[in-house]
Structure 1
Amino acid sequence: MSRLFLLRHAKAEWAEPGQRDFDRALAASGVEDAKALAAAMVEQALLPAQVICSSAARARQTLDAINTVHDFSAVTRYDQNLYATDAPGYLEVAASSGVDTDLMLVGHNPMLEDVAIALASSGDEALVDDLQMGFRTSGLAVIALDGPIADIEKLSGRLETYLTPATS
């Protein structure tokens, strides 16, 4: 049994004229939301063994804010594919991670939402409904899988929790 943590980056600033989307920074409210989420993760013992983070600025800054509350830096690596790929690509990144237990992907919509909805075939009905209304910024979906992450492309799971800034 393993768990996949799906974390959408926190609220970002709008792009400045001529600025690449990849380089957009977090808004001040996004930093605070990420810290509040991290506190809720610690309080609820939602601490993944490994983290793979998009290399986009707003994803990295989200993880930096989380690391001020609970430091995941020793178990983190960055992957540009989480910025540029689709939902099946997210599954490939997870499957090839080499992680046997709990893995957190820090990334972007719509890919995270697509992965969460595809994998979370069951769970608390209210949480599933909330997730299906849209994967919010600083949202964290934790999905308990019915097998190892290496087999994620063939698995289904149960939504354990879905935390958002409003629920953190």
Structure 2
Amino acid sequence: MHRLFLLRHAKSGWAAPGMTDFERPLTASGISDAEALGRHMRDSGLLPDLVLCSTARRARETLDRVLSVFGEMTPRIIHDEELYNSDAARYVEIIREAPENAALLVVGHNPVMEDLAFALPRGGNADAMRLASSGFPTCGLAVLGFENPLSELQPGTGSLEAFLRPERV
């Protein structure tokens, strides 16, 4: 089984005067949510082998906070600027091009994360499907499983195993 984790960046503040959208930092609640999610991932064994992360500040800070509670387990990290402003089709291409790994975490942005969370699975855990149907919140995590390698990723071929919302971890 090949796993794909889709993580929307945690809550960020609005851009201050002179600051670009790309530079927006996490809020205190965003930091707290990311650390809580990281603990839940660690304790549940939801650990990636490889991370593809947007280069936007809020995505990098989210990843840093999630990984800060993993302990010695350190996945390989690739920062990809295309994850900041691409559509779902390009995200799929980027995932397919990733080095072969059993578990891949993608840290990115909406609406793409939500689009992928609905397009990639053909079904899945009923509770996860219900939670996902109410939207993809900041610091939300979709856990998808695929029988085929992620290099063969296609819409409608996976299963939504879990959907984690910050208020529920």
Q: Shorter-chain TM-score: which interval?
A: over 0.9
Segments of 4+ in structure 1 off by > 3 A? 71-74
Aligned residue pairs total: 168
Q: What is the match of residue 95 of structure 2?
A: 94
Q: What is the match of residue 24 of structure 2?
A: 24
Contact 1:82/1:107, CA 8 A, preserved across alignment = yes
Q: Output the CA distance in 2 between the equivalents of 1:154 and 1:66.
A: 27
Amino acid at match of 2:37: L
Q: How high is the TM-score relative to the length of structure 2?
A: 0.94
Contact 1:50/1:99, CA 8 A, preserved across alignment = no
Contact 1:10/1:34, CA 8 A, preserved across alignment = yes
Contact 1:145/1:155, CA 8 A, preserved across alignment = no
Q: What is the match of residue 148 of structure 2?
A: 147
Amino acid at match of 1:41: M
Q: Output the CA distance in 2 between the equivalents of 1:45 and 1:100.
A: 16
Alignment CA distance shift 1:126-1:74 (3 Å):
closer
Q: Output the CA distance in 2 between the equivalents of 1:67 and 1:44.
A: 14
Q: Output the CA distance in 1 between the equivalents of 2:140 and 2:155.
A: 25
Amino acid at match of 1:167: R
Q: What is the match of residue 59 of structure 1?
A: 59
* Structure 2 unmatched ranges of 5 or more: none
SS in 2 for 1:18: coil
Amino acid at match of 2:49: A
Q: What is the match of residue 105 of structure 1?
A: 106
Q: How high is the TM-score relative to the length of structure 1?
A: 0.95
Please report the RMSD computed on the Cα atoms of aligned residues, expressed in angstroms.
1.4
Q: Output the CA distance in 2 between the equivalents of 1:10 and 1:109.
A: 11
Q: How does 1:120-159 map to 2 (within 5 A)?
A: 120-153=121-154, 156-159=157-160
SS in 2 for 1:135: coil
Q: What is the match of residue 50 of structure 2?
A: 50
Q: What is the match of residue 77 of structure 1?
A: 78
How far did residue 125 of structure 1 move?
2.1
Q: Structure 1 vs Structure 2: percent identity of aligned residues?
A: 43
Q: Output the CA distance in 2 between the equivalents of 1:9 and 1:122.
A: 24
Q: Output the CA distance in 1 between the equivalents of 2:68 and 2:102.
A: 24
